Amino acid sequence: MNINKLFSLKGKTILVSGGAGLYGKCIVEGLAEAGGTIIIASRNLAKVVETANQFRNQGYDIYAMQVDQGDHTSVLNLKAEIIKQFGRLDVFINNAVARPMKGYNEPIEHFAESMHINATGSMDILREMCGLIEDSGGGSVINIASMMGMHGPDLSNYDGTDMGWPPPDYFFHRAGLINLTRYLAKIFAGKNIRVNCVSPGGLFNYQPKQFVENYCKKVPVGRMANTDDIKGLMVLLASEAGAYINGQNILMDGGMHA
Ligand SMILES: NC(=O)c1ccc[n+]([C@@H]2O[C@H](COP(=O)([O-])OP(=O)(O)OC[C@H]3O[C@@H](n4cnc5c(N)ncnc54)[C@H](O)[C@@H]3O)[C@@H](O)[C@H]2O)c1
């Protein structure tokens, strides 16, 4: 097949959870530029509608829907709405994340809330959307985890800042998502569904200057991730160009952990 055709997402219906967030917007942009029809969904409908409208004004085929992945009924409603409006789903980017825990010493209830959304909720939306993709004849699922799901925190990145240490729940559920990817790839063997994971490094978002300086010193590429960096990987894994990549976790950290 011609290489442009292999990478094309024309005719594919793609759901991006948390698509109005920091990495979500970059992912949506890349997939839309490759020709996909994108549904962005998260808790805050007004925010996803606003994001969808911004992309539609640029000529992309983008739709907004509401979902709280911590609520099973809400997940089922999203699935029903996708079937009603599009009749199928080809690709699911499992990108949403909630951050109820801010540091190590917070009440354990915050850890439990995080697990409810980021572990149980993530599994719930994955199972429902994988079912829909299977009913549509197959497709691709991409989990967005983090380099923090593969490595312990480098606390020296926070030296000289008042950012505090990163919270423990994040390290727990990002790591779980990476291995759940391998599990799902095996479960869906023979059903034409590929399941992969991308583990990005930190996206530059005007973090404190000292943090950015500490961080960038450790990255061979010499910078934090920018808004273009994740786009190519998303299109590769979502399209036919990635047809023989399955059950993988791809670290995208500029070489920080090489
Ligand atoms: N930002 C980074 O530097 C960075 C680095 C590595 C990995 N990541 C990963 O990228 C992904 C996105 O992170 P981000 O930084 O863009 O986050 P973000 O906070 O900017 O966006 C998260 C999105 O998830 C949505 N969300 C939260 N709870 C939800 C729920 N219960 N139901 C549905 N949607 C919900 C939010 O509304 C938001 O749209 C995550 O998987 C994260 O682990 C981010």
* Nearest atom within ligand 1 for CA of residue 143: 41
Distance 174 CA to ligand 1 centre (A): 11
Q: How confident is the model at residue 39 (pLDDT cuts 50, 70, 90)?
A: very high
CA distances from 36 to 16, 87, 105, 238 (A): 11, 15, 43, 10
Give the whole-number percent of the chain exceeding pLDDT 90.
100
Task: Write out pLDDT tens, residues 208-243.
Answer: 999 999 999 999 999 999 999 999 999 999 999 999
Probe target for ligand 1 pocket from 15, 22, 198, 249, with the most ligand atoms within 8 Å of CB: 22
Tell me which residue has tokens 């063997």.
189
Task: Write out pLDDT tens, residues 18-27.
Answer: 999 999 999 9
Distance 33 CA to ligand 1 centre (A): 21
Distance 146 CA to ligand 1 centre (A): 11
Greatest pairwise CA separation for the chain in angstroms: 55
Q: If you write DSSP's letter for every residue of 25-72 in order, what string do you get?
A: HHHHHHHHHTT-EEEEEES-HHHHHHHHHHHHHTT--EEEEE--TT-H
Instruction: Determine the average pLDDT of the residues in 80-107.
Output: 97
Q: What confidence score (pLDDT) does residue 19 get?
A: 97
Tokens of 251: 């670290």
CA distances from 251 to 93, 144, 152 (A): 16, 10, 14
Tokens of 227: 């808004």
Task: Write out pLDDT tens, residues 102-122.
Answer: 999 999 999 999 999 999 999
For residue 199 and ligand 1, the question of a CB distance below 6 A is answered with: no
